[in-house]
A and B are shown apart, each in its own frame.
Chain A
Amino acid sequence: MRVGSLLAGVAVALAAAVGTVYVVNVRDETPPSRSIAPVGRDIERGSYLATAGDCIACHTAIGGAAFAGGRPIQTPFGTVYSTNITPDAATGLGNWSRDDFWRALHNGRSRDGRLLYPAFPYPNFTHVTVDDADAIFAYLRSLPPVTRVNAPHELRFPYNTQAALAVWRALFFRPGVFEPDQNKNAAWNRGAYLVRGLGHCDACHASRNIFGAVSHNLDLGGGLIPMQNWYAPPLVSSTGAGVASWEEAHVEALLRTGNSPRAAAMGPMAEVVFRSTQYLSADDVRAIAAYLRSFAQSPVEPTPLPKPDADVVARGALVYEDRCAECHGSNGEGVLPAYPPLARNPSVTEALPANAIKAVLNGGYAPATAANPRPYGMPPFVKRLTADEIAAVLTYVRASWGNSGAPVSTFDVERYQ
């Protein structure tokens, strides 16, 4: 009897915990009320919004049919495969209703009731309005159906369980709606909606905690992208390569052409420009710029750095003259729009040298966009320079022509490649 009471107590406590997690996971799941019936323009508007949200990037395998899914997304917890969102009845969204679609975007729950992995950025998409969600759904319904069976995710235990996902969501996910800030103008609010909601910029431009969640106190503060090791600079800060103090025209140029006097889009951002932001309207790009610029602050007082080893710098200078100076200039002056200046370039002197290392190793072209259809590029030096030479040349560049970046070690080069 007494043992029974104790067991009952424990059971009730457990049930209370499970119940809490359950309630937290299903809150705000009633279908939204809609004032207007869908209209014909929805498909066109939905196409634009789907592009602004860059759905195609994740939901298309390399060389695969558009929106048919199957692209592997590497995470620290395993590989998540994107799903088929063409209107195929058997393997895509063919049997979905717009309420099902809304619940996926707003609550992160699939039509069959399964909780979705936040690699699908529903912590951002939850802020998308009902009208916009309906328009995107109408557009997806208008696509040619493609039969492609979704691949099962390859996640490790316990991350492959719905229970773990439910606990994660109880801790880190709140369904929400976008609340315009009445103290700001319409452009600022549109920018906030695109940056924080549909555009899901913080999927990369924010640091993540050990549970893979974007931490809200450092939202958009920049971060190293998990698994890819590209550093996404802060969007709401002026420090380092932060973009908050960029001129509006430079933000616009980067998003619409892939190139700007301040920086060129590289790595994952080149893909974002290539598939998404180059197609944004002038108004939306200006709205994003206005939103980001509202976070501009005065630069932080610098602190002294250790002096780099003179021998390393001298070796780096030789490599630089041999391999880099022809395009970037003996004084790091570069020439726009092709070869960015390296002198006083915050992308080059970032505290985390990941991007500079990746640029030297892999090279790359700016994305080919409507405004810059035949971009110039940087050669890959992965087979031409040793890790030691790359460390030396970057140490030299980061300590020359008014630059002030910490030395780069051979270990850094190995780590970020």
Chain B
Amino acid sequence: MRFLRILRAVLWSFFGVRRRVDAARDLEGVQPHTIVAVGVVVAAVVLTGIVGLVRLIIGTESAPERMQSPVSVPAPIGAVAKKHGPVVLRDTMEERVRPCTVCHGNNTEATADGFSPRIAGKPAGYLFNQLVSFRDGRRTYAPMVYLVQYMTDDYLRDIAAHFSELELPYPAPESTSMTPQAVARAHELIEHGDAARNVPACSECHGANLAGIAPAIPGLLGLPRHYMNAQFGAWRAGKLRAIEPDCMAEVARRLASDDIAVLTAWLASRPASTEQKPLHEPNRKLPLECGSVATTVK
């Protein structure tokens, strides 16, 4: 009887609120150390209970979620014409870059949409640098990162070489409406740059024919206008990076916003042809320091 009284006192103390007279009655003639001992035992019981409850929850919660293997459902296909014969696997780079050509164009056209850039015929060193940048976190476009994240430098070099050697016809230039003043401004920037803002002429690095300079500087023609605008925005926001020192990001930051719009409109409107090949001048003196060029030439 006395033990029950102590137990009751301890449990009430766990609850914390009780009439003083009741507490006094329960504690009459009880030694403090008895109370403490019972307290410890009860605490241990409660803790064990909580741990047990947690284990029980885990046990039920992690029961297998998997369904049983179901029986076969016959496929009602009949209606679809089967265009494709037996699958033939060719041991070629062309076969291996199929994941690329869904967006960048196949053998007959360079780009399949208005956003993905043309990569055919660009200098191999430039393409390799971009692939490495996607793998190593300097560029972050998720579908590209997924494709190249577990590739070696050697394989990325093979892929870059494959596309650099492709000679695909260019799509028709975009029709953009530009004022005569805007066209004149574009010419000015391409040929002379903007001295006030310390912007070099585009042609100084990308070549007089704007077809790029091998091995590491890309051509500027045949690219979608939306793509170029997006790249300029990404450079200025620090979301698109190259090996430091990042010369093009610097140029993008120096250029006036209006001038970027003028340049991309003009470049997208220019006809391009595979006759215009990148110049091969690995030791050309550049107006800015470019990490991507320096590491490629080295």
List the interface of chain A (C-beta within 8 A of B): 1-2, 5-6, 8-10, 12-14, 16-17, 20, 61-63, 171, 207-211, 213, 215, 217-218, 221-222, 239-240, 270-271, 273-274, 299-305, 307-308, 310, 313-314, 317-318, 320-321, 325-330, 333-335, 338-339, 349, 351-352, 362-365, 367-368, 373-384, 396, 399-406
Contact = CB atoms under 8 A, between A and B. Distances in A.
B64 A302 contact: no
B84 A363 contact: no
A358 B42 CA distance: 52
Nearest to B74: A399
B132 to A, nearest CB: 9
A404 B71 contact: yes
B136 interface: yes
B71 A171 contact: no
Given A302-B69, A381-B102, 11 more contacts: A6-B9, A9-B13, A16-B44, A20-B47, A240-B66, A270-B150, A303-B67, A329-B84, A335-B89, A375-B155, A382-B143
B150 A274 contact: yes
B80 A317 contact: yes
A365 B147 contact: yes
Interface of B, secondary structure class, is helix
Interface string B151-192: 110110010000000000000000000000000000000000
Contacts of B51: 171
Given A62-B137, A314-B79, A377-B99, A8 B32 contact: yes
A63 B89 contact: no
B195 interface: no
A403 B70 CA distance: 9
Given A13-B39, A302-B69, A365 B58 contact: no
Interface string B49-81: 001001001110110111111111101110111
A207 B75 contact: no
A417 B11 CA distance: 52
Question: Which size class do B's interface residues fall under?
Answer: 35 or more
Contacts of A351: 65-67
A302 B83 CA distance: 34
Contacts of A14: 43
Contacts of B35: 5-6, 8-9
Given A329-B84, A334-B87, A373-B155, A403 B72 contact: yes
Contacts of B102: 379-381, 384
Contacts of A8: 32, 35-36, 39
B24 interface: yes
A61 B135 CA distance: 12
Nearest to B79: A314
Contacts of A379: 98-103
A304 B67 CA distance: 11
Contacts of B70: 302-305, 404-406
A239 B143 CA distance: 32
For B43, B75, B84, B155, which residue has the most chain A Cβ atoms within 10 angstroms? B75
